[in-house]
């Protein structure tokens, strides 16, 4: 086994108490990595933030990188779960798109350090960085493909469309939530504007009425 796979191997606790202790360390890691960055963050500070003994960290994680990679995976899982819950009862794909966009804004407001952590992952562990987006895109593309099969949206390559829409949501969340210190004041307005743009590219074009045939003109006598 290579060094990287050894470092990031999961140490899954077998008791509920252990799972809660591990989750508490991951929440502390989100705070510390997001505030200080991966290089400046220390295991000691993560443990202090979690209110845990230093030795307990190594019960659950091999090293700092292992905790960071698991944090990226955990944040990705939480994003996907929030979006799935938000769109579950929406009547059609366009309503799901809007609900998912607003849900993502809310997630960013609760996890303001999400952007810094995920972007650092590209340099700390490229596989974790790609996995974060690939898993999100996989579910997105599946939902889009199903909507295309129901003739709710235009038939395009669902994976390409999923990355287009993820990119839009990513930057809108950065500009109107993160840069506004977690404010959701503009969330509805931003979602409405984005949906107008999305609808122009995703919605089925209106079916044109069949052209009426003009009656043949009688031939003039020669």
pLDDT in tens, 58-84: 999 999 999 999 999 999 999 999 999
Stretch 112-124: mean pLDDT: 96
Question: What is the CATH topology of the domain spanning 18-61?
Answer: Arc Repressor Mutant, subunit A (1.10.10)
pLDDT at 40 over 60: yes
Helix, strand or coil for residue 203? strand
d(CA 135, CA 120): 18
Those residues whose C-beta lies under 8 Å from the C-beta of residue 107, and which sit 6 or more positions away, are 78, 79, 82, 114
pLDDT for the residue 57: 96
Q: Which of these, 168, 30, 186, 27, lies nearest to 100 by C-alpha position?
A: 168
User: Exposed, middle or buried: residue 220 (CB in 10 Å: 0-12, 13-18, 19+)?
Assistant: exposed
Write down the domain spans for the chain: 18-61, 63-202
pLDDT exceeds cutoff 50 at 4: no
pLDDT digits (tens, 9 = 90+) for 205-222: 676 655 555 555 555 555
CATH of domain 63-202: 1.10.357.10
Does 78 or 3 have the greater pLDDT score?
78
- The confidence score (pLDDT) of residue 204 equals 72
Determine which of 15-24, 60-69, 121-130 has the lowest per-residue pLDDT on average.
15-24
Decide which of 91 and 217 is more confident: 91
Residue 6's pLDDT band, with cuts at 50, 70 and 90, is very low
pTM of the predicted model, to two decimals?
0.84
Task: Give me the pLDDT at residue 3, please.
Answer: 41
């Amino acid at each position: 086994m290579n060094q990287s796979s050894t470092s990031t191997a999961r140490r899954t606790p077998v008791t509920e108490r252990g799972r809660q202790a591990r989750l508490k360390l991951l929440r502390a890691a989100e705070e510390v990595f997001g505030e200080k960055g991966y290089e400046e963050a220390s295991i000691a500070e993560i443990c202090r933030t979690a209110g845990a003994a230093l030795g307990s960290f190594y019960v659950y994680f091999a090293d700092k990188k292992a905790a960071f990679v698991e944090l990226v995976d955990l944040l990705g899982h939480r994003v996907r779960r929030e979006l799935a819950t938000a769109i579950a009862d929406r009547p059609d794909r366009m309503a799901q798109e809007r609900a998912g966009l607003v849900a993502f804004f809310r997630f960013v407001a609760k996890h303001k350090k999400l952007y810094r952590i995920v972007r650092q992952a590209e340099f700390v562990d490229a596989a974790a960085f790609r996995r974060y987006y690939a898993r999100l895109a996989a579910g997105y593309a599946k939902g889009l493909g199903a909507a295309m099969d129901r003739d709710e949206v235009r038939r395009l390559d669902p994976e390409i469309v999923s990355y287009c829409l993820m990119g839009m949501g990513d930057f809108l969340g950065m500009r109107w939530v993160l840069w506004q210190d977690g404010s959701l004041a503009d969330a509805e307005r931003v979602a409405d504007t984005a949906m107008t743009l999305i609808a122009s590219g995703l919605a089925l074009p209106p079916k044109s009425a069949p052209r009426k045939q003009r009656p043949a003109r009688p031939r003039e006598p020669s």
